[in-house]
């Protein structure tokens, strides 16, 4: 089940080769990524999971060109990454909308940076908002939107330039469980329509397996690849797949790679004898 085959090198949308990265500490360098090699095929959805602070978000920022690799290479859309690229869209954990702008102006912000006129931006922006289901709130300010709607606008903004790669850094982590499941399904629909390659960072193992073709598990910092699990689900997927037994089996395998022991009622009782029944 582990170590699913990577796509052939020539067709990779993203290619990481022996990637290493360290943050500068007060005295020494703090290694965060320690030799990650990974190929991701066009239209593939890959989820990155790992322990807290393992470097998942750092890995995403390296692919997005916001950080520069210490050694090794990062290629995205057949180009070596030396900085942010228009073919890569990034959605952060928080929506990061500009509070003084309307929903429409936030979604079209990348187009404004590219020099498109107001008329061109408006037409494209309304189509983007429709794509993510917030076309009715085009003139609203971010503080007038719910958390879920704000994140939809952030996704619309990331899609504004028509990227071939979409990077998502725990985009739904602030949403409640029910809303999150709905968003997962909507993300799959969006993926089916846009055909982008998606790299998703998440803490939720079931969400990772539900959304992705492949789940890449990282070790504790400094991050290496502990293993890969291919999602057992076919496509298209429905929300009912979240309850599928095969998903649960794969989730156990992912947890195994993460080094989390399977917690049973017996194990819980042993961990906290004071709470055990007499």
* Residues of the shown chain interacting with another protein in the complex, contacts defined by CB under 8 A: 64-66, 83-86, 90, 92, 94, 96, 98-100, 109-110, 112-113, 141-144, 157
Long-range own/partner contacts, residues 30-34 (CB < 8 A, 24 or more apart): 31/221, 31/222, 32/58, 32/221, 32/222, 32/223, 33/58, 33/59, 33/62, 33/69, 33/222, 33/223, 34/222, 34/223, 34/224
Which of 67, 251 has the CB closer to another protein? Answer: 67
Instruction: Return d(Cα 187, Cα 59) in angstroms, integer.
Output: 21
Report, in Å, the least distance between residue 127 CB and another protein: 19
Instruction: Return d(Cα 85, Cα 66) in angstroms, integer.
Output: 10
Instruction: Return d(Cα 264, Cα 253) in angstroms, integer.
Output: 15
Which of 158, 257 has the CB closer to another protein? Answer: 158
Q: Which two tokens stand for residue 37?
A: 């090699």
Report, in Å, the least distance between residue 197 CB and another protein: 17
Which of 48, 188 has the CB closer to another protein? Answer: 48
Stretch (H or E) spanning 264: none
Which of 120, 144 has the CB closer to another protein? Answer: 144
Which of 18, 144 has the CB closer to another protein? Answer: 144
Report, in Å, the least distance between residue 145 CB and another protein: 10
Closest by CA to 46, choosing from 272, 218, 249, 220, is 218
Report, in Å, the least distance between residue 101 CB and another protein: 8
Report, in Å, the least distance between residue 264 CB and another protein: 40
Please state whether 3 falls in left (phi above 0), alpha (psi between -120 and 50) or beta: left
Which of 57, 231 has the CB closer to another protein? Answer: 57
Report, in Å, the least distance between residue 143 CB and another protein: 2
Kindly list the strands in the beta sheet with 71-76, ordered across the sheet, starting from the edge strand earlier in the chain: 29-40, 14-24, 71-76, 79-80
**Peptide bond just before 222 cis, omega within 30 deg:** yes
Report, in Å, the least distance between residue 272 CB and another protein: 39
Which of 82, 246 has the CB closer to another protein? Answer: 82
Give residues with Cβ within 8 angstroms of 48, minimum separation 6: 56, 59, 60, 199, 200, 201, 202, 215, 216, 218
Which of 141, 224 has the CB closer to another protein? Answer: 141
Report, in Å, the least distance between residue 66 CB and another protein: 6
């Amino acid at each position: 089940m582990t170590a699913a085959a990577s796509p052939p090198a020539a067709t990779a949308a993203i290619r990481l080769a022996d990637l290493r990265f360290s943050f500068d500490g007060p005295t020494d360098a703090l290694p965060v990524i320690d030799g990650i090699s990974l190929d991701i095929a066009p239209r593939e959805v890959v989820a990155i999971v790992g322990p807290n602070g393992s470097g998942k978000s750092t890995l995403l920022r390296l692919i997005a060109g916001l950080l520069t690799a210490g050694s090794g290479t990062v290629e995205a859309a057949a180009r070596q990454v030396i900085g942010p690229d228009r073919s890569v869209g990034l959605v952060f954990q928080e929506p990061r909308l500009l509070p003084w702008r309307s929903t429409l102006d936030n979604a079209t912000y990348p187009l404004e940076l590219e020099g498109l006129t107001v008329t061109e931006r408006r037409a494209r922006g309304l189509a983007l908002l429709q794509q993510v289901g917030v076309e009715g709130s085009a003139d609203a300010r971010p503080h007038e939107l719910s958390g879920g709607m704000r994140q939809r606008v952030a996704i619309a903004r990331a899609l504004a330039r028509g990227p071939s790669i979409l990077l998502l850094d725990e985009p739904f982590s602030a949403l409640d469980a029910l809303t999150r499941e709905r968003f997962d399904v909507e993300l799959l629909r969006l993926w089916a329509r846009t055909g982008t390659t998606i790299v998703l960072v998440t803490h939720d193992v079931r969400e990772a397996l539900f959304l992705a073709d492949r789940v890449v598990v990282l070790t504790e910092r400094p991050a290496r690849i502990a293993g890969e699990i291919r999602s057992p689900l076919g496509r298209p997927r429905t929300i009912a797949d979240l309850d599928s037994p095969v998903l649960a089996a794969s989730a156990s395998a992912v947890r195994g790679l993460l080094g989390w022991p399977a917690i049973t009622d017996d194990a819980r009782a042993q961990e906290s004898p004071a709470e055990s029944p007499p």
